[in-house]
Amino acid sequence: MKRFLTLAAAFMALGVAQADDTLKKIKDSGSVTMGTRESSGALAYTLGDGKYAGFHYDVCGNVLADVQKQLGMAKLDIKYQPVMSQNRIPLVQNGTVDIECGSTTNNATRQKDVAFAVTTYVEEVRIAVKASSGINSVADLTGKTVATTTGTTSVQTLRKHKRAEGCSSRSCSARTTPTASCCSRAAARTRS
């Protein structure tokens, strides 16, 4: 995995000048702050006691091992800062987080604020419904409650379709994906 991630690309949300400043900060302090997700399925999750696991942590860990080696550091203290979809980019921009490895969509709008490393994971926004629901398109969501995770591109995609197709669904946004699922089930119970 280390082979396809370069030091310059590792700091997904930093420009070149910011990356140099961040690398100096890491070397001078002997520590780095990694933005962490606590509930992103197998991609990123907490084990408790300040320990994390998942694909994104593995990627970030490999990147930080390279950073430590390239900076010639005997030890690198990794601190963890929980982040959510809605605050991950601002926390990197303001220096609270030095690096965030997550399923953050790389699009033109976000590239105005942050730079991205090479793509390591690809996913698409999809709608999951019961096969018997009769829902076959976004337009079929009219009058339904749709659960999304706040700050994600799924929210933007749903809003775009609602404007284009005149869909009048109710949104139920939550901080994490599991909470969004519970939010949707609760909304369905209150309608029946």
pLDDT at 1: 37
Q: Please state the pTM of the whole predicted model.
A: 0.62
For 83-129, how does the pLDDT look when each residue is reduced to its tens digit (9 = 90+)? 988 888 899 888 899 988 887 778 788 788 877 777 777 776 667 78
- The Cα 101–Cα 58 span in angstroms is 9
pLDDT at 27: 94
Residues 92 and 137 in one domain: no
pLDDT at 70: 92
Q: What is the mean pLDDT of residues 146-169?
A: 62
Q: What H or E segment, with its residue span, contains residue 190?
A: helix 177-191
Q: Pick the residue with more confidence: 186 or 16?
A: 16
For 11-57, how does the pLDDT look when each residue is reduced to its tens digit (9 = 90+)? 444 445 566 788 899 999 999 999 988 888 788 888 988 888 999 88
Domain containing 15 — which CATH number?
A: 3.40.190.10
Residues 13 and 107 in one domain: yes
Residues 12 and 102 in one domain: yes
Residues 144 and 66 in one domain: no
Q: Is 60 exposed, middle or buried (0-12, 13-18, 19+ CB in 10 A)?
A: buried
Query: Does residue 87 sit within a domain?
Result: yes
Q: 149 Cβ partners below 8 Å, 6+ apart?
A: 85, 155, 173, 174, 175, 176, 177, 180
The domain total for the chain is 2
Residues 147 and 105 in one domain: no
The three state secondary structure string of 111-153 is HCCCCCCCCCCCCCCCCCCCHHHCCCCHHHHCCCEEEEECCCH
Q: What value does the mean pLDDT of the chain take?
A: 74
Q: 41 Cβ partners below 8 Å, 6+ apart?
A: 54, 177
